[in-house]
Amino acid sequence: MKRLAILTAGGDTPALNATLHGAVVRANQLEIEVLGILDGFGGLLATDLPHVPLNPLFAVIPELDPCRGGTILGSSRTYLDGSNPTHVDAVATRITRLGIDGLIAIGGDGTLNGLQPLAERFPCVLAPKTIDNDLGLNSPDEPTTWTKPLAEDPPLANEGGEPLAISEIVNYATPGYATAVFVVVQAIRRIRTTAESHRRVAIVEVMGRQSGYIALGGSYGQPDLVAIPEVPLDFGRFAERVRQIYEQQRHVVVVIGEGITDETGCKLGAVSPSVDPAGNTVFRGAAEAIKQRLAAVLPQSLFRGHASADAAIFTRKVGHTQRGGRPVQFDRFHASQLGGQAVDLLHQNRSDHVATLQWSNPTGFTVDGISAGQLRDRWGVVRPRRVHCSFFDAEQWRISPRGADYLRPIFTDAVGADDVEHLRGDLFDAGHLATGYQSVNVLLSQRIRRSDPEESET
Ligand code: F6P
């Protein structure tokens, strides 16, 4: 293998540059050229295939900083239409003409679904990423337990069964997740003190789509109640619990995953059933929906000193701050290892494979690789991994002891000393007042190359 291409697809994470960096460092060792395709699959679909050489003379370009959040290549939610063979063939031909022997897509479940048609014509592997932590399996045999297509799955996907053997989890954590939780936990702690001072109910909404891993990780912020999409909200009982906690401590902090559903499985946040170009439901408004329902049932007399229940309850979406900024040590280190592993998988001719991060005691974290087929259900679809029921105490709306066992390996040393030092030295750097932000997009633009569209299409 002489030359490979790499792209970042789907929603970004803080650890994408770290994965790119790890891949390029490994490619340098193997003397493989790496071309970064711009804007995810959008770049592959463009006839002039915009790209950036990431390791001229086998040295990493300086713009590729593993500590910088986001992706210098840009990302998009554009995917290949696998049902159109002419389309897929055109892409395969185009990249072959550039002398590329294999493709690494850094992405999540949506990317892997989109990558399959191309993998049938061209060597492709996936390096995982997603703040949602939903690429992987709770156990290797999980796909055989799904008896209905994803769209028909009931909301409580993981009901019943034995507590999970956490060392059997396939792809224990995805790069980006730890940093997202790092942001969420700080948000919860900051919201806590203001809710406490003003005797208010705070509803903090976090990302994750239909998976509650980010909300679960938020447990480190010690919220009073956590609601995850995997467990439909028994609203009557929930409102009563909010009332009890408020009576006791004159404020409440609730964390909810954006994809939570009501008792009937109806998404609380789905104001309209809109979908993004990748076919994902766009989640918005779950915290607001809960606020409205709480304000309607909680007696105003509970909130002495507030004009109304509505005024006493506030909502906060942590939003895209979860996806941005400098990755913490856990993400930097493992993202980089997974990038290197993806190069190795291609180099070993293991096309249609996924680089995975495994954990066991006493080995700790190690990288591995599995065939993408092992993640697919009987309909050929890679499903988002959901929080296993044994990780969550649905009676108390809190993390279970087994859930805490799951989180500990990730978070105990997730933040490095240099993360703290970076914050201390960088945030109020006086130079920031004198100079504006220097976008890496501008720096990188000088390196962008384009193939001749006519030549590539003939
Ligand atoms: O999948 C990652 C994610 O951040 C989800 O948690 C969230 O629902 C979605 O992307 C938001 O997407 P966008 O940035 O396109 O609004």
> Which tens digits make up the pLDDT trace of 141-155?
999 999 998 877 665
Residue 452 has pLDDT above 90, yes or no: no
CA atoms within 13 A on the CB side of 36: 30
Higher-pLDDT residue of 238, 164: 238
**252 touches ligand 1 (CB under 6 Å):** no
Phi, psi at 243, each rounded to 5°: -60, -45
Identify the CA nearest to 404 among candidates 389, 391, 393: 391
3-131+327-383+412-430+441-447 shares its CATH topology with 177-322: yes
Give the ligand 1 atom nearest the CA of 276.
15
Q: What is the pLDDT of residues 85-123, one digit of tens each?
A: 888 998 999 999 999 999 999 999 989 988 989 999 999
Cβ of residue 267 lying under 6 Å from some atom of ligand 1? no
From the list 424, 421, 203, the residue with the least C-alpha distance to 314 is 203
What pLDDT does residue 456 have? 52
In the predicted structure, residue 369 carries a pLDDT above the cut 70: yes
Q: Given ligand 1 and candidates 76, 77, 113, 131, which is best to mutate, with the most ligand atoms within 8 Å of its CB?
A: 131
**Is 180 a pocket residue for ligand 1 (Cβ < 6 Å)?**
no
Token pair belonging to 224: 């009073």
Give the pLDDT score at 157: 47
Please state, in angstroms and rounded to a whole number, the distance separating the CA atoms of residues 346 and 352.
Answer: 9
pLDDT, mean of residues 411-439:
97
**Topology given in CATH for the domain delimited by 177-322:** Rossmann fold (3.40.50)
pTM summary value: 0.96
Contact 189, 221 (CB under 8 A): yes
Say yes or no to pLDDT of 277 above 80.
no
Q: Where are the domains of the chain?
A: 3-131+327-383+412-430+441-447, 177-322
Q: What is the pLDDT of residues 51-62, one digit of tens each?
A: 999 999 999 999
Identify the residue whose C-alpha is closest to ligand 1 atom 1: 11
* Top-tier CATH class for 3-131+327-383+412-430+441-447: alpha beta
Rounded distance from Cα 67 to ligand 1 centre (Å): 22
Instruction: Give the pLDDT score at 271.
Output: 56
pLDDT at 279: 64
What is the rounded CA–CA span in Å between residue 403 and residue 412? 14
Q: Over pLDDT 70: what percentage of the chain?
A: 94
User: What pLDDT does residue 282 have?
Assistant: 78
In angstroms, the CA 306 to CA 313 distance is 10
Mean pLDDT (the chain, rounded)? 94
Question: Would the pLDDT of 158 be above 70?
Answer: no
Residue 274 has pLDDT above 60, yes or no: no
Checking if the pLDDT of 363 tops 60, the result is: yes
Q: For residue 252, give the 3-state DSSP assignment.
A: strand
Q: Which of 122, 102, 124, 96 is nearest to 455 (CA)?
A: 96
Query: Could you tell me the pLDDT band of residue 284, with boundaries at 50, 70 and 90?
Result: confident
